A and B are shown apart, each in its own frame.
Chain A
Amino acid sequence: MTHTVSVTGLRKRFGATVALDGVDATFTPGVNGLLGPNGAGKTTMLRILATVLPADDGHLEALGVDPATAEGRLSVRRRLGYLPQEPGFHQHFSAFDFVDYVAILKEWVDRKARHDEVRRVLGLVGLEAVMHKRIRQLSGGMRRRVGIAQALLGSPDLLVLDEPTAGLDPEQRLRFRELLGTDAAGSTVLLSTHQTDDVAALCGHVIVLLHGQIRFTGTPVGLAALATDRVWLATDRDPRAELAWVTGEGRIRHIGEPPAGAHLVEPTVEDGYLVLAGRDAHAGEEAVAS
């Protein structure tokens, strides 16, 4: 399928910090996941794609236009839904008021149609019952869902979601996955997450960012395959392992060389990600040592 979003040579610095260091990527319709440790540059990349932050350098094309120009930006914003990592909420707004306000900014002029749409998106995230409560009285996960609801207004062609599943309970995460499959079917979804099982369950395409650079791009299966023949279960911790942790059943899961008496297991997306991130952590240690 042809891509709907592409970035080439994207760079962004904040003072001395290099947040994005030459990123090239293309995205197609479907769910695209963005993984990476804290500070990797995920939010910076999504904010640039959502037209709220200008890049220092590089080229960006979204939905066939260039958001660096005013016309391009307007045209993208008309077809965009954006959930910031930290949405600001007005003290006095109820969930309904807030989503309605964003709908006004999204040019929903007809009041009746707008209110119907606001109720529809709040229903999609299961907030019908509390939509007239003030946002500050809602729980953290509910607030996240208010943010998701406003991003879904008008079923946009491009959905940029920064950690949409952070703080959602398991039932709501499932509901979120369902609604991406139904309401957002056909649109290009870019989401960042720290939940590798979200990536495995949702994403057709995943990229891993480390220190502002892309370290992996491919399918979740491909990411998991990076750990093929490298994940072991044993009863005792092996000091030579790159990474080792205790599982729920009290066994020790190792990534790296096989410890004595261990047996090989099927790798997950998380293992693949840890192989990449772990390798990077080691590279960092060497750099400090030399």
Chain B
Amino acid sequence: MTHTDWHAPPELLTRYADAPATIDDMTASSIEAHLVACAECRRHLSATADPALAVVSWSAIAERIDQPHPTPVERLLGWVGIESGLARVVAATPGLQAAGVATVVLLAAAAALASRSAGAVGPFLLVAPLAPLAAVAVAFAPAADPAGEAGIATPLHGAGLMVRRAAAVLAVTFTTLGLTALALPDLGPRAAAWVLPGLALALGALALSTWLRVEVAVSALAAAWLTAVWSLYWAAGHAGPVADSATFTAVGQVTSLAVAAVAAALIVVRRDRFATPEGF
């Protein structure tokens, strides 16, 4: 390592500590970079400078340099108001980085395109609730924890982490879908009818994942959703737009709300059952 071969000149360090304003930015940042790597110069700095000042400024410098560089996903999470530590926990999951964002954005785009080309709100309402479902699948991707086994032995592991991850991912998903829906022209108030089914599906998948593997839970619910929408539409004589079928009117909305509430209660009751590699 080169840091042991070279040391900052003592008088420069003293000036850095006593009169930082007299040092140009380039030199200051190269001193700082060197200080991080060199215990000897740190000792020298704290010996020459006022000790209290040295401690404070060392800590402040280290804080600036150690600032982890947020990834694009972390920044995105920050925009929707998610605190940085949590953003890191969510974004650090490898599967989430690319696949997660891509899936959600693709589904939202597909939903919007389908509605645009059909000139009706139906296709968007049908596809949009699947995006939160995909988001849950991604948040729970197996082997997702980058801290490996050390991460299991922490208080946040299990339901705490799962629910936080899911909440963060769902916040992003709903924001994305919300913006997409706004961008669609002439859809009217019915355009919001995807929100409650989407929430019901996402919470339902979380609740089911305490019994089943998450991929199984998500696929089953996706199939159930498509089946329900089409059978209700056909049962009502498949006339008129899909958006006017039972799923997206009062009955469907109230049912979705009820399903979401039951799922939320199940998640709370069964919070100890969120699967981990070895069964805890």
Instruction: Please report A residues at the B interface, Cβ cutoff 8 Å.
Output: 47, 50-54, 70, 73-74, 77-78, 80, 82-84, 86-91, 93, 96-98, 100-102, 104-109, 111-112, 114-116, 118-119, 128-129, 131-132, 147, 150-151, 160
Min Cβ gap A47→B in Å is 8
Expressed in whole angstroms, the Cα–Cα distance for A74 and B62 within the complex equals 32
A88-B149 in contact (CB<8A): yes
- Most A CB contacts (10 A, CB to CB) among B36, B38, B149 go to B149
A101-B155 in contact (CB<8A): no
Min Cβ gap B253→A in Å is 35
- Please classify how large the interface on chain B is, using the bins under 10, 10 to 19, 20 to 34, 35 or more: 35 or more
9 closest Cβ pairs, A-B complex: A88-B148, A90-B146, A105-B154, A84-B149, A82-B153, A70-B272, A52-B152, A105-B156, A77-B155
* Residues in B neighbouring A106, C-beta threshold 8 A: 154-156
> Is B7 an interface residue when CB atoms closer than 8 A count as contact?
no
Expressed in whole angstroms, the Cα–Cα distance for A48 and B162 within the complex equals 22
> Is B183 an interface residue when CB atoms closer than 8 A count as contact?
no
A105-B151 in contact (CB<8A): yes
* Residues in B neighbouring A98, C-beta threshold 8 A: 146-147
Expressed in whole angstroms, the Cα–Cα distance for A91 and B143 within the complex equals 14
B278 contacts which of A52, A107, A115, A119 (Cβ < 8 Å)?
A52
B59-A116 in contact (CB<8A): yes
B94-A90 in contact (CB<8A): yes
* Residues in B neighbouring A50, C-beta threshold 8 A: 153
Closest to A97 in B: B68
* Residues in A neighbouring B66, C-beta threshold 8 A: 96, 115, 118-119, 131-132
* Residues in B neighbouring A51, C-beta threshold 8 A: 152-153, 280
Min Cβ gap B220→A in Å is 27
> Is B257 an interface residue when CB atoms closer than 8 A count as contact?
no
Min Cβ gap A242→B in Å is 38
B155-A52 in contact (CB<8A): no
A115 contacts which of B63, B88, B161 (Cβ < 8 Å)?
B63
* Residues in A neighbouring B149, C-beta threshold 8 A: 47, 52, 82, 84, 86-88
A112-B272 in contact (CB<8A): no
B146 contacts which of A47, A93, A114, A147 (Cβ < 8 Å)?
A93
> Is B19 an interface residue when CB atoms closer than 8 A count as contact?
no
Expressed in whole angstroms, the Cα–Cα distance for A87 and B280 within the complex equals 18
**28 interchain pairs, CB-CB under 8 A:** A51-B152, A51-B280, A54-B278, A54-B279, A78-B155, A84-B148, A84-B149, A86-B148, A87-B148, A90-B92, A93-B92, A93-B146, A101-B88, A101-B92, A101-B146, A105-B151, A105-B157, A105-B161, A106-B154, A106-B156, A111-B84, A115-B62, A115-B66, A119-B66, A128-B37, A129-B1, A129-B36, A129-B39
> Is B17 an interface residue when CB atoms closer than 8 A count as contact?
no
A101 contacts which of B38, B39, B59, B147 (Cβ < 8 Å)?
B147
Q: Which of B38-97 contact A (CB under 8 A)?
A: 38-39, 59, 62-63, 65-66, 68, 84-86, 88-89, 92, 94
Given A97-B68, A115-B66, A77-B154 contact (CB < 8 Å): yes
A104-B155 in contact (CB<8A): no
- Most A CB contacts (10 A, CB to CB) among B39, B89, B146 go to B146
B278-A83 in contact (CB<8A): no
Closest to A82 in B: B153
Closest to A51 in B: B153
Min Cβ gap B152→A in Å is 4
Min Cβ gap B143→A in Å is 9
Q: Which of B109-148 contact A (CB under 8 A)?
A: 146-148
B146-A52 in contact (CB<8A): no
> Is B150 an interface residue when CB atoms closer than 8 A count as contact?
yes
Min Cβ gap B34→A in Å is 11
Given contact pairs A102-B151, A132-B65, A150-B147, enumerate 9 new A-B contacts (beta carbons under 8 Å). A51-B280, A88-B150, A101-B146, A102-B150, A105-B151, A108-B85, A115-B63, A128-B36, A131-B66
